[in-house]
């Protein structure tokens, strides 16, 4: 019998009425002849409440007990969903991570999948179960302790189950009706995409689009799991939402498929660093050890003397999330005190944003960067840093121009049009 994985996020199961609405969508798929694995998140707001309880109880908490508490939100939702389905006459039962079992590493709070054995759930399907309701976001360590996967872990759980069970598709039900060319709250002309390639979705997710969690898209791309993003608050059919799929399923691609943005960026510049072999490693090594997520990097060469040294010096600029600025400053200052690096000044700009254009069509169509830069220039928006990849061009600009930039680029690449 064909199998479908359906995942419902926190807003989709926020209360008993929404759980009942989600159960109706599951019943529809069962009536179509599918066995279904349902992955559920905790009710909206419940995980934050549980985290706060842990932090109020113990500032230096045991990570194992943190996972035991925080994972309980998904257990409640799974049980309630199974009960609702049973009331509708559908053979269903709930599964916690250790019952499947979902085997993970021992990294509490950020565990990764090791394996998902099929035997237990397959046996229940053979005995007549139609729906397995699995608590997302959690697993079990080699030591037998409950683990959690980090924020967005339920998306990743859904994709992992779809890969492990060879599901026909993995449907992600959320509070939006698909993936848009950009954020509709910023650009009224944003258009819902019928299909988007894994690589494009991965870039958009990593660049700030919050429709899907980055790890889930990485996993889907690796195992060729077809994802469908759709709304749990609307009537849907086989053509609803956005299909995230392999590039081969998309006949022709525009040069740019979407515009992503990130408000919470900062730009850090080390002024007058010696330009010599190994200096980049000396700078970015301590940043990596401190857990700073460095993104864009620009090196500017000058011929100034540096504290008695003759020869070339450089200014090294990079971007990172704004909430990691203090960590970055400390890492660089500590490295300077240890004599590993030397610089005249450390300049931080926390009033920047990153705007990116993404599209697999860039591989075969030229002129994307020039078109992007002209659109920004026409709006008198100055570019501070540029970074590119095969299917992406990102720029760092003043944050006050971010929304204008998104709208200008959406218009420049005519993303409101289907062809």
pLDDT (tens digit, 9 = 90+) per residue, 74-128? 999 999 999 999 999 999 999 999 999 999 999 999 999 999 999 999 999 999 9
- Using pLDDT thresholds of 50, 70 and 90, give the confidence band for residue 337: very high
Which residues are known binding-site members for substrate? Answer: 47, 74
Which pLDDT tens digit goes with each residue over 132-166?
999 999 999 999 999 999 877 899 999 999 999 99
Query: Which two structure tokens, joined as six digits, stand for 333?
Result: 């200052």
* Contacts for 204 with CB less than 8 Å, ≥ 6 apart: 179, 196, 211, 258, 260, 358
408 pLDDT higher than 90: yes
Q: Give 81-118 as a DSSP string.
A: HHHHHHHTT--EEEE-GGGTT-EE-S-TTS--EEE---
Name the one residue in this structure whose structure tokens are 């925080």: 70
Averaged pLDDT score across all residues of the chain: 91
Query: Which two structure tokens, joined as six digits, stand for 62?
Result: 């045991």
Side by side, the strands of the sheet bearing 92-95 are 92-95, 131-135, 35-40, 3-8, 170-174, 227-231, 242-245, 195-197
Look at 51-60, 206-215, 319-328 and tell me which has the smallest mean pLDDT.
206-215
pLDDT at residue 310, rounded to an integer: 54
Which residues are known binding-site members for ATP? Answer: 7-10, 174-175, 180, 185, 210-211
281 pLDDT higher than 60: yes
- Using pLDDT thresholds of 50, 70 and 90, give the confidence band for residue 346: very high
How far is it, in rounded angstroms, from Cα 283 to Cα 306? 17
- Using pLDDT thresholds of 50, 70 and 90, give the confidence band for residue 306: very low
Handedness of CA 201, 202, 207, 208 (dihedral sign): positive
User: Which residues sit opposite 315 in a β-bridge?
Assistant: 300
Look at 1-10, 77-86, 132-141, 245-254 and tell me which has the smallest mean pLDDT.
245-254
Q: Which of 230, 179, 174, 234 is nearest to 204 (CA)?
A: 179
Name the one residue in this structure whose structure tokens are 């934050």: 48
Look at 35-39, 184-188, 331-335 and tell me which has the smallest mean pLDDT.
184-188
Which pLDDT tens digit goes with each residue over 200-215?
998 888 776 677 888 8
How far is it, in rounded angstroms, from Cα 222 to Cα 343? 42
- First and final C-alpha spacing in the chain: 38
How far is it, in rounded angstroms, from Cα 13 to Cα 17? 8
User: Which residues sit opposite 128 in a β-bridge?
Assistant: none
Domains identified in the chain and CATH numbers? 3-175 (3.40.1160.10), 249-419 (3.30.2130.10)
Which residues are known binding-site members? Answer: 7-10, 47, 74, 174-175, 180, 185, 210-211
Q: Which of 419, 119, 107 is nearest to 257 (CA)?
A: 419
Phi, psi of 358 (to 5 degrees): -135, 140
* Contacts for 248 with CB less than 8 Å, ≥ 6 apart: none
Omega before residue 101 within 30° of 0, cis: yes
Over range 384-412, report the average pLDDT.
94
Over range 22-43, report the average pLDDT.
96
307 pLDDT higher than 60: no
Q: Give 136-149 as a DSSP string.
A: TTEEE-TTS-EEE-
Over range 16-21, report the average pLDDT.
96
Q: CB-hemisphere CA count at 13 Å for 388?
A: 9
With b for 16 or more beta-carbon neighbours within 10 A and e for fewer, the 70-109 pattern comes to bbbbbbbbbbbbbbbbeeeebebbbbbbbebbbbbeeebe
Are 94 and 129 in contact by the 8 Å Cβ rule? The answer is no
How far is it, in rounded angstroms, from Cα 60 to Cα 79? 31
Q: Give 167-197 as a DSSP string.
A: -S-EEEEESSSS-BSS-TTT-TT--B-SEEE
Over range 33-39, report the average pLDDT.
97
CA distances from 75 to 17, 43, 98, 393 (A): 18, 10, 11, 42
Over range 157-176, report the average pLDDT.
94
- Using pLDDT thresholds of 50, 70 and 90, give the confidence band for residue 419: low
Phi, psi of 50 (to 5 degrees): -65, -40
Name the one residue in this structure whose structure tokens are 């956005």: 242
């Amino acid at each position: 019998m064909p199998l479908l994985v359906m995942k419902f996020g926190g807003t989709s199961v926020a209360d008993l009425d929404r759980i009942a609405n989600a159960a109706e969508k599951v019943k529809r798929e069962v009536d179509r002849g599918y066995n279904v694995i349902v992955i559920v998140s905790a009710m909206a707001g419940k995980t934050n409440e549980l985290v706060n309880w842990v932090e109020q109880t113990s500032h230096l908490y045991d990570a194992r007990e943190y996972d035991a508490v925080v994972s309980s939100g998904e257990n409640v939702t799974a049980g309630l969903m199974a009960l609702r389905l049973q009331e509708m006459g559908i053979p269903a039962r709930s599964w916690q991570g250790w019952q499947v079992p979902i085997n993970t590493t021992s990294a509490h709070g950020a565990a990764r999948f090791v394996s998902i054995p099929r035997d237990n759930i397959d046996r229940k399907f053979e005995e007549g179960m139609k729906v397995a309701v699995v608590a997302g976001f959690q697993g079990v360590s080699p030591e037998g302790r409950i683990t959690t996967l980090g924020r967005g872990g339920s998306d990743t759980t859904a994709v992992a189950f779809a890969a492990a069970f060879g599901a026909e598709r993995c449907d992600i039900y959320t509070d939006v009706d698909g993936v848009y060319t950009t954020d509709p709250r910023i650009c009224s002309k944003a258009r819902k995409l019928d299909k988007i390639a894994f690589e494009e979705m991965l870039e958009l997710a990593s660049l700030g689009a919050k429709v899907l969690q980055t790890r889930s898209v990485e996993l889907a791309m690796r195992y060729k799991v077809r994802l469908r993003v759709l709304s749990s608050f609307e009537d849907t059919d086989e053509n609803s939402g956005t299909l995230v799929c392999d590039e081969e399923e998309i006949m022709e691609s525009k040069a740019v498929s979407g515009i992503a943005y990130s408000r919470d960026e900062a730009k850090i510049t080390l002024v007058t660093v010696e330009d010599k072999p190994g200096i980049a490693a000396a700078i970015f090594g301590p940043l990596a050890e401190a857990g700073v997520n460095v993104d864009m990097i620009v090196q500017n060469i000058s011929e100034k003397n540096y504290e008695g040294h003759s020869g070339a010096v450089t200014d090294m600029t990079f971007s990172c999330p704004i909430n990691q600025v203090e960590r970055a400053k400390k890492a660089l200052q500590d490295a300077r005190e240890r004599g590993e690096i030397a610089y005249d000044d450390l300049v931080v700009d926390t009033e920047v944003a990153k705007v990116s254009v993404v599209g697999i069509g860039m591989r075969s169509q030229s002129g994307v960067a020039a078109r992007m830069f002209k659109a920004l220039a026409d709006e008198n928006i100055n570019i501070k840093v540029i970074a590119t990849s095969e299917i992406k061009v990102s720029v760092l600009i003043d944050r006050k121009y971010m929304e204008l930039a998104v709208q200008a680029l959406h218009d420049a690449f005519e993303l409101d049009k289907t062809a």
